Amino acid sequence: MLQCFLCRLRTHQWCFLLFNVLLFHALLFGADFVEEYLLQPTPGVYTDGTIADVREKAMKLDLSNARENMSQSYPIANPDACRNSDLFLLTLVFSSTANISQRDAVRRTWANQTLTQGFPLQILFFLGLTQTSAAQRALMAESDRYGDMVQGQAVGDSSLRSPTERTILALRWVIAFCPVARFVLLTQDSVFLNLPAIRGYLFGLHWHPEDLYLGRVIQGDSPDRDPNSVGYMPPALYPGKYLPEYCDGTAYVLSQDVVRKVYIASMAVQAPVPADVFVGLCAKRAGVAPTHSARFAGEKPVRYNACCYNYLFSTAGMRDEKLEAVWADLRQKGGGCSLFYIMYVFDRHSDS
């Protein structure tokens, strides 16, 4: 039936169909082009004294000599995790101390790789404090078994401030123990990561990889003005009507220099906000603009489709059983989907 219909088409009708197909693909590829080439931060001259000061301090920052004095801040320091001087991408996975089965699922799936297309990777879990000595002993045993954990001395996991403190501790650990990593990816243990796709994107960057703060950019959020809220931000603390742009905390990438800039800026930023917003505030203070990629799906789960997941950088809301099922199916089916089909599927399932 379709073949008969196509045979009856006249020349101008064929031209119209061809034009629409070409236009559709141009829009898809054009979006990638705009995202990867035209929407990137450009090097600038920083006349703002605060920004210039943060960047100068970050450039001079060296914590290598302080490593031996950091044992109190890091009960599990894992100081030799970044022995590879060619380390391309360090991934820090924030995990609650009780999430043992989730960490095991991550280890068996997307984190079960040390190389992607010849580029060295390192995946580490970053945890806060345990509540009991027995839980701490179990965590130490897990660390001894796998060698892929770092524990920071943060406040209890239930505190709003805790994720922010853990993020600062994680950045400090990177500066002290892993300054060789070219890029640092921060994520959560409930997120599926497509590390080969992320590596390909980072390797293909056309500009020098500095000032990179890459993720799903959130715009137009308002500060919490409710005096009864734990996240209350009075106008005296933050007078702006909107929060600065920031990358969604489910997964984002920082170049090594931005790790240092955000860490230095964090010393002067006092705001009771979620960790990802806090990083955005610090980045703004350091003169670093976030770069958006829609391939980071953000906190909204995307219904599984092999083509979609091979294209995306990250997908949230993946508990251990689902994570392993998705991984097994991806390994069986592999990639090979056209961009046309990927976008079609993604458009259908992104609202699920």
Q: Is there a contact between 42 and 291 (Cβ–Cβ < 8 Å)? A: no
What is the helix (H) or strand (E) element at residue 163, kind and residue range?
A: helix 161-177
Encoded amino acid at 240, one letter: G
| Per-residue model confidence as pLDDT tens digits over 250-301 | 999 999 999 999 999 999 988 888 899 999 999 999 999 999 999 999 998 8
Overall average pLDDT of the 3-17 stretch:
55
Asked if residues 199 and 119 have their Cβ atoms less than 8 Å apart, the reply is: yes
Would residue 193 count as lying in a domain? yes
* Mean pLDDT score of the chain: 83
Single-letter code of the amino acid located at 260: R
Query: How does pLDDT run across 155-170, given as a tens digit for each residue?
Result: 444 344 578 999 999 9
pLDDT of residue 29: 44
- Position 145 in a domain: yes
C-alpha separations of 204 from 32, 253, 311 in Å: 12, 15, 15
pLDDT at 119: 82
Ranking 43-47, 110-114, 229-233 by mean pLDDT, the lowest is: 43-47
Q: Is residue 168 part of a domain?
A: yes
Q: How many CB atoms lie within 10 A of CB 46?
A: 15
- Structure confidence at residue 28 (pLDDT): 44
Question: Which pLDDT belongs to residue 288?
Answer: 96
What pLDDT, on a 0 to 100 scale, did the predictor assign at position 25?
Answer: 46
Nearby residues of 301 by Cβ (< 8 Å), 6 or more positions away: 315, 316, 317, 318, 352
Listed in sequence order, the residues at least 6 apart from 275 whose beta carbon sits closer than 8 Å to its beta carbon are 163, 164, 166, 167, 249
**Residue 234 sits in which domain range?**
45-297
Integer Cα distance of 127 and 94 in angstroms: 6
Residue 70 lies in a domain: yes
Residue 347 lies in a domain: no
The more confidently predicted of residues 39 and 340 is 340
How far apart are the C-alpha atoms of 70 and 63, rounded to whole Å?
10
- Which two tokens mark 216? 């799903």
Identify whether 331 is part of a domain.
no
Q: What is the pLDDT of residue 287?
A: 95
Global confidence as pTM:
0.83
DSSP reduced 3-state for 252: strand
Judge whether 127 lies within some domain. Answer: yes
* Domain of residue 122, CATH code: 3.90.550
pLDDT of residue 172: 95
The answer to whether residue 288 sits within a structural domain is: yes
Instruction: Give the model's confidence band at 11: pLDDT under 50 very low, under 70 low, under 90 confident, else very high.
Output: low
What is the phi/psi pair of residue 254, to 5°?
-120, 135
Structurally, the chain folds into a number of domains equal to: 1
